[in-house]
């Protein structure tokens, strides 16, 4: 089989350093012999196109990336938003970097399709003007802007954001390109853009946590107009921009008037019973006990010590990890990951003959053509 000889080893080395992966590990992961890769790095051998494509997929790059003679210019291969995130966190794993690259590529596809079918105005991002740093006022204006009334699920809040031009992607629990590793503390990130901002939320076993992460990232987009990446610590921070985003998320999901339906005299003495006490509001509002307790603390109706005791109790509990589940509904996964608006734009472009079936399949998480038609029928009925 013909081999490509003009491979730039410096670009392979840049990817290795960026991902903190050794050449030997790369060889094992892409099933190319270590000796062959050593020769490639010394410009003494070439690779087949399929081998080079495997390496490209491994690093989230195209095969052509490794054929360019110029050294890697980070400002060219990474967006401003991507670099902002890397500057924010000293250690961003290669798995997270890959998800950021994939998310940016999917957003570029969406923008191109929206422009192609001429529906830019439908997806125009025109956020409300939020003056000052009052999280309560900002959250109220955001709810009004999004026309939120009785939303209580992740999907309902997501739909509201999508209608206002904010893309919301959600990772999945399966091993693959859209999985944030279980050991990673990253819960989500936001990529700011004047036209098409993007929020990415980590799939978690409890939906209320996903909803809070989404609201937190929305706070960054509206309050700070900047790209951010957030882990477990950030979503409990009491400092700086993270504290502002957390307050915004609390007021956004649980406005003051919601708290009127909670009666202090009913509060149990034992913090282990707080979940039962607040089970009704939790279900109605789609939030966790912790979010409601924090709002009660801010309203002066609960001591912070009681909230801390509840958190300590909660962390002492052991909850079984859910596995990835069945892939019997593979055709629904693109909608789960990319959102309803994204999927419908792809199908509209397909219906107008702006893209081929093969491209539609590629844009929708690479699903098979049979699954593509199943997804189309599913969207038509929902």
Q: How would residue 310 be classed by pLDDT, with cut points 50, 70 and 90?
A: very high
Q: Report residue 320's pLDDT band, with 50, 70 and 90 as the boundaries.
A: low
pTM recorded for the entire structure: 0.88
Residue 369 contacts residue 361 (beta carbons within 8 Å): yes
Question: In the beta sheet, which residues pair with residue 132?
Answer: none
Categorize the per-residue pLDDT at 50 as very low, low, confident or very high, splitting at 50, 70 and 90.
very high
- Topology of 82-253 in CATH? Arc Repressor Mutant, subunit A (1.10.10)
pLDDT at 326 over 70: no
Between residues 18 and 274, the one the model is more confident about? 274
* pLDDT-based confidence at residue 132 (cuts at 50, 70, 90): low
- CA dist., res. 203 & res. 357, Å (int): 29
Task: Compute the average pLDDT of residues 221-246.
Answer: 92
**Model confidence over 142-197: pLDDT tens digits?**
999 999 988 889 999 999 999 999 999 999 877 678 888 888 899 999 999 998 99
Highest mean pLDDT range out of 94-98, 119-123, 129-133, 272-276?
272-276
Which region, left, alpha or beta, applies to residue 255 given φ > 0 means left and ψ of -120 to 50 means alpha? Answer: beta
Residue range 195-210, pLDDT digits in tens: 899 999 999 888 999 9
> Which pLDDT belongs to residue 205?
85
Rounded to whole angstroms, the Cα distance separating 147 from 164 reads 10
8 A C-beta contact, residue 161 and residue 192: no
Mean pLDDT is lowest, of 116-120, 269-273, 347-351, for: 116-120
Averaged pLDDT, 269-275: 95
Residue of higher predicted confidence among 293 and 318: 293
Question: Which residues lie below 8 Å from residue 322, measured CB to CB, with a gap of 6+?
Answer: 173, 205
Residue ranges covered by each domain of the chain: 9-77, 82-253, 254-317, 330-380
Please, what's the largest Cα pairwise distance for the chain?
Answer: 78
Where does the pLDDT of residue 30 fall: very low under 50, low under 70, confident under 90, or very high at 90 and above? very high
Overall fold of domain 9-77 = 434 Repressor (Amino-terminal Domain) (1.10.260)
Q: What is the pLDDT of residue 58?
A: 86
At residue 324, the pLDDT reads: 54
Whole-angstrom CA distances from 226 to 126, 134, 199 are: 15, 18, 12
Question: Is the pLDDT assigned to residue 97 strictly greater than 60?
Answer: yes
């Amino acid at each position: 089989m013909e081999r490509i000889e003009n491979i730039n080893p410096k670009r392979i080395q840049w990817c290795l350093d960026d991902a903190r992966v050794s050449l030997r590990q790369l060889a094992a992961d892409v099933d190319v012999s270590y000796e062959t890769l050593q020769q490639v790095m010394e410009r003494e051998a070439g690779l087949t196109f399929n081998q080079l494509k495997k390496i490209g997929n491994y690093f989230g790059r195209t095969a052509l990336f490794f054929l360019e003679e110029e050294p890697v210019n980070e400002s060219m291969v990474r967006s401003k938003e991507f670099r902002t995130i890397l500057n924010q966190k000293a250690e961003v794993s290669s798995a997270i970097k890959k998800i950021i690259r994939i998310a940016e590529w999917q957003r570029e596809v969406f923008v191109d399709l929206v422009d192609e079918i001429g529906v830019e105005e439908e997806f125009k991002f025109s956020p409300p003007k939020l003056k000052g740093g009052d999280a309560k006022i900002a959250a109220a204006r955001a709810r009004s802007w999004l026309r939120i009334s009785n939303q209580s699920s992740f999907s309902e809040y997501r739909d509201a954001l999508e209608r206002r031009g904010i893309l919301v992607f959600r990772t999945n629990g399966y091993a693959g390109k859209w999985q944030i590793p279980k050991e990673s503390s990253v819960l989500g990130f936001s990529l700011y853009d004047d036209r098409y901002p993007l929020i990415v939320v980590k799939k978690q076993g409890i939906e209320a946590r996903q909803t809070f992460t989404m609201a937190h990232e929305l706070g960054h987009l509206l309050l700070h107009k900047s790209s951010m990446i957030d882990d477990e610590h950030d979503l409990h921070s009491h400092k700086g921009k993270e504290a502002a985003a957390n307050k915004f998320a609390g007021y956004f999901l649980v406005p003051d008037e919601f708290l009127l339906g909670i009666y202090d005299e009913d509060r149990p003495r034992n913090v282990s019973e707080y979940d039962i006490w607040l089970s009704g509001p939790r279900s109605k509002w789609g939030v966790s006990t912790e979010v409601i307790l924090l709002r009660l603390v801010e309203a002066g109706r609960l001591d912070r010590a009681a909230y801390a005791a509840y958190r300590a109790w909660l962390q002492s509990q052991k909850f079984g990890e859910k596995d990835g589940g069945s892939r019997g509904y593979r055709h629904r996964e693109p909608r789960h990951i990319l959102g309803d608006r994204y999927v419908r734009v792809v199908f509209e472009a397909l219906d107008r003959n702006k893209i081929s079936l093969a491209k539609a399949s590629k844009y929708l998480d690479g699903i098979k053509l049979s699954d593509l038609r199943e997804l189309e029928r599913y969207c038509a009925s929902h």
